[in-house]
Amino acid sequence: MKLIKNISILLFILTTSIAFAQVKFEAKVSKKQLGTNERLRIDFEMNEDGDNFVPPSFLDFNVVGGPNTSVSNYSRNGKRSFSKTYSYFLSPKKQGNFTIKEATIEINGETFKTFPIKVTVTKAVNAPNGNGDAADLAADKIHLVAEVSNANPYLNEAITVVYKLYVSPEIGVSSNWREKEIPRYNDFWSQNIEIQGLNILEGTYKGEKYRYVVLRKTVLYPQKTGALKLDPLVMDITAEVPTNRVNIFGQRLPVMVPKEVTAGSRTINVKPLPEEGKPSDFKGAVGNFSFKVTTSKTQLNASESLQAKIEVKGKGNLKLFELPKLTVPSSLEVYEPEHQENVRTNLSGMQGSISDTYTIVPQYRGKYPVPSISFSYFNPDTATYNRITSDEKIIDVQEGPMAANANTGSSEGDTNQGATANANTFAFIKTTSNWTSAKPEPFFRSKAFWALLLLPFLAIPFAIVVRRRRDARNADVQGNRIRKADRLAKKYLTEAKKALGKKQSFYLALEKALHNYLKAKLNIETSDFNKEKIEDLLTKRQVEKEVVLDFISILENCELARYTPITQVTMENDYDKAAKTISLIDKQLK
């Protein structure tokens, strides 16, 4: 009996050990000693898929790449093999002995942790990462360039800055790049031009063939004269440099080289506008414009209204100057103008029109002149000032009272008399009213009485219909699950919108929204989530390839954003992209 009990205990311990041995979650580093100018790669590997992966804080390092996720899932001889890895590239902040703390993940409802890893950082070494040739090749074959349309503009003349990343055909760049430093245009009025996707184009750089992508387009209007500096755009990228090693298909295997690239600062020499020939009414308009003054009518009666519109059209700094003011005789009552702008901005600058519309109400009969108005601007193409003057307009008020100091004609039989007051002085005061009885109407047998009496009887069939629909809805288990997930996706999208500006809260809510959406539409569990499966399922459901890639890129951005600095503009773009992508998938899913 005692022997059987011991055997049972032994079998229980063995079974438990095997069960725990099935799950493996560990951290591996590329080296445990490195120089300050080297990069450290750390991989978090697991043999079962899990949820809620939380990496270490990396307090003593800068994350220059990652997280990169790779998944391997295959069967051989009836045995399933699964492997998933989260990879990061780290740059040490200083010399010393440091400890990379544990990472955590939930697998099958249990939380697993990696062991802490100790790393020693020494002074800079001569051959960083042992890949001197690869690093040198990446430095020679990757260039970030800021192309300025005009380095010597006039004050308030439009210039454009286009940031391009040139990459030689000999190497590649992984998609996990990020902007480390974003330019600030302190002495310029600036506006970014939206880029619809990063298209790979063919071009030349210093006489050699390159591929390039346009990363940013910005229109600038200098607000000061002299030498103005443009801050550089700095990016962290991972270059894929081919090596002499090949895979089983004969393809050359690349080595990953983290690299920082910068466009460098640029100096813009802004010329002042010439003083010679400057009109006295010049108010800072620079460009090529047309100018006109129009009125909605020239004949009307007293107390009627007309509109006078001052409008400038053309190409230039339309939002950066004031329109000339309208002057009219004191007998015309003028209201504050309504300002309107119809301006679009592209790479050539601002184009369109701006206008001020005045409402004018004459009080007395007579003819009133609206004096001519002049508008001056500087044309940088011809380096000259131009002035446009409108024609004088006459407002003819045909009917109404005469002004107090006006006399009528002096024909025979007429007598001179002053202007009489308007006989309809109180035209705008209400002179009639709708009287109502002060005695209250009794409630019994009133309309409200009969409505409240009959309402319960009318509500019975309505309640029956509602009950039946609710029962049918509760019976639809799959439909309820989809509706619940849809509500959760909308809820988290709403939470993400409210959290704009708070990076961690925003991307956590956005990621939950995407996950709940896929649960509803594809009927998969969180434990099944990986980018390859998502892409395969969406493609099979006939979702366009570009939409699928957009969805995958948003998920990658959510992972990346937890460990890298993100701007408000980037968060807004990610939110708009997520909402748009979900809408497109809804329309295309079959």
Q: Give me the pLDDT at residue 4, please.
A: 57
- Can you tell me whether residue 160 is helix, strand or coil? strand
Q: Give me the pLDDT at residue 384, please.
A: 94
Which range has the top average pLDDT, 101-105, 515-519, 525-529? Answer: 101-105
Is residue 449 pLDDT above 90, yes or no?
A: no
Q: Give me the pLDDT at residue 89, please.
A: 81
Q: Give me the pLDDT at residue 181, please.
A: 83
Q: How confident is the model at residue 14 (pLDDT cuts 50, 70, 90)?
A: very low
- Angle of helix 503-522 relative to helix 477-498, nearest 10 degrees? 160
Per-residue b or e along 13-41, where b marks 16 or more CB atoms closer than 10 Å to that residue's CB: eeeeeeeeeeeebebeebeeebbbebbbb
Q: Give me the pLDDT at residue 316, please.
A: 94
User: What does the pLDDT average to over 61-83?
Assistant: 73
Q: How confident is the model at residue 418 (pLDDT cuts 50, 70, 90)?
A: very low
Name the residue among 366, 369, 359 with its Cα closest to residue 304: 359
Name the residue among 217, 212, 214, 258 with its Cα closest to residue 236: 258
Specify whether the CB–CB gap between 223 and 156 falls below 8 A. Answer: yes
User: What does the pLDDT average to over 164-178?
Assistant: 85
**Distance from C-alpha of 258 to C-alpha of 135, rounded to nearest angstrom:** 8
Beta-carbon contacts of residue 303 (< 8 Å; ≥ 6 apart):
361, 362, 363, 400
Is residue 280 pLDDT above 60, yes or no?
A: yes
pLDDT in tens, 368-395: 888 899 999 999 999 999 999 999 889 9
More confident residue, 21 or 82: 82
How many residues does the structure list for the chain?
590
User: What does the pLDDT average to over 3-30?
Assistant: 62
More confident residue, 476 or 401: 401
Q: Determine the Cα angle at 137 with ends 133 and 142, to 5°.
A: 155
User: What does the pLDDT average to over 80-95?
Assistant: 83
Q: How confident is the model at residue 149 (pLDDT cuts 50, 70, 90)?
A: very high
**Distance from C-alpha of 60 to C-alpha of 95, rounded to nearest angstrom:** 10
CB atoms within 10 A of CB 88: 22
> Does residue 67 have a cis bond before it (omega within 30 degrees)?
yes
DSSP string, 201-217: EEEEETTEEEEEEEEEE
Specify whether the CB–CB gap between 128 and 37 falls below 8 A. Answer: yes
Name the residue among 222, 234, 220, 223 with its Cα closest to residue 263: 234
Element (H, E) at 491: helix 477-498
Q: Give me the pLDDT at residue 8, please.
A: 57
CB atoms within 10 A of CB 300: 20
pLDDT in tens, 255-271: 888 888 888 888 999 99
Mean pLDDT score of the chain, rounded to an integer? 80
**Distance from C-alpha of 377 to C-alpha of 387, rounded to nearest angstrom:** 7
Q: How confident is the model at residue 466 (pLDDT cuts 50, 70, 90)?
A: confident
CB atoms within 10 A of CB 210: 19
Q: Give me the pLDDT at residue 166, please.
A: 93
**Distance from C-alpha of 246 to C-alpha of 292, rounded to nearest angstrom:** 71
| Cα R_g (the chain), whole angstroms | 37
Is residue 416 pLDDT above 50, yes or no?
A: no
Q: Give me the pLDDT at residue 107, please.
A: 85
Q: Give me the pLDDT at residue 199, please.
A: 86
3-state helix, strand and coil shares in percent for the chain, rounded to the nearest 5: 25, 40, 35
Specify whether the CB–CB gap between 62 and 45 falls below 8 A. Answer: no
Q: Give me the pLDDT at residue 20, please.
A: 45
User: What does the pLDDT average to over 554-578?
Assistant: 75
Q: Give me the pLDDT at residue 421, please.
A: 44
User: What does the pLDDT average to over 444-458?
Assistant: 79
Is residue 495 pLDDT above 70, yes or no?
A: yes
Beta-carbon contacts of residue 317 (< 8 Å; ≥ 6 apart):
156, 157, 158, 189, 221, 284, 285, 286, 287, 349, 350
Which range has the top average pLDDT, 422-426, 431-435, 501-505? Answer: 501-505
Q: Give me the pLDDT at residue 253, please.
A: 74
Percent of the chain with pLDDT over 70: 79
Q: Letter for the amino acid at 211?
A: R
Q: Give me the pLDDT at residue 411, please.
A: 36
More confident residue, 220 or 136: 220
Q: How confident is the model at residue 420 (pLDDT cuts 50, 70, 90)?
A: very low
Name residue 246's beta-bridge partners.
252
Q: How confident is the model at residue 412 (pLDDT cuts 50, 70, 90)?
A: very low
Q: How confident is the model at residue 282 (pLDDT cuts 50, 70, 90)?
A: very high
Q: Give me the pLDDT at residue 75, please.
A: 64
Q: Give me the pLDDT at residue 556, please.
A: 78
Q: Give me the pLDDT at residue 41, please.
A: 85
**Distance from C-alpha of 292 to C-alpha of 458, rounded to nearest angstrom:** 66
Element (H, E) at 478: helix 477-498
Q: How confident is the model at residue 590 (pLDDT cuts 50, 70, 90)?
A: low
Specify whether the CB–CB gap between 310 and 373 falls below 8 A. Answer: yes
Is residue 116 pLDDT above 80, yes or no?
A: yes
Q: Give me the pLDDT at residue 161, please.
A: 94
pLDDT in tens, 185-201: 888 999 998 888 788 89
Pick the range with the lowest mean pLDDT from 51-55, 426-430, 528-532. Answer: 426-430
Beta-carbon contacts of residue 440 (< 8 Å; ≥ 6 apart):
none
Name the residue among 526, 509, 516, 514 with its Cα closest to residue 488: 516
Q: How confident is the model at residue 527 (pLDDT cuts 50, 70, 90)?
A: low
User: What does the pLDDT average to over 153-167?
Assistant: 94
Specify whether the CB–CB gap between 317 and 353 falls below 8 A. Answer: no
Which range has the top average pLDDT, 156-165, 171-180, 541-550? Answer: 156-165
Q: How confident is the model at residue 39 (pLDDT cuts 50, 70, 90)?
A: confident
Beta-carbon contacts of residue 246 (< 8 Å; ≥ 6 apart):
252, 253
More confident residue, 540 or 484: 540
pLDDT in tens, 228-237: 998 888 888 8
Half-sphere exposure of 323 (CA within 13 A, CB side): 27
Pick the range with the lowest mean pLDDT from 165-169, 358-362, 424-428, 448-452. Answer: 424-428
CB atoms within 10 A of CB 526: 14
Q: How confident is the model at residue 30 (pLDDT cuts 50, 70, 90)?
A: confident
**Distance from C-alpha of 213 to C-alpha of 191, rounded to nearest angstrom:** 20
Q: How confident is the model at residue 417 (pLDDT cuts 50, 70, 90)?
A: very low
Specify whether the CB–CB gap between 572 and 557 falls below 8 A. Answer: no
Specify whether the CB–CB gap between 282 and 384 falls below 8 A. Answer: no
Residue whose entry in the numeric block shows the structure tokens 């030689």? 168
**Distance from C-alpha of 358 to C-alpha of 332, rounded to nearest angstrom:** 12
Specify whether the CB–CB gap between 256 and 239 falls below 8 A. Answer: yes
Q: Residue 64 corresponds to which tokens in the numbers above?
A: 């220059």
**Distance from C-alpha of 63 to C-alpha of 564, rounded to nearest angstrom:** 7
CB atoms within 10 A of CB 386: 15
Pick the range with the lowest mean pLDDT from 124-133, 175-184, 549-558. Answer: 124-133
Name the residue among 55, 40, 29, 39 with its Cα closest to residue 559: 55
pTM, two decimal places: 0.49
Supply the DSSP symbol for 44.
E
Is residue 13 pLDDT above 70, yes or no?
A: no
Can you give the three-state secondary structure of 148-172, one letter per residue?
Answer: ECCCCCECCCCEEEEEEEEECCCCE
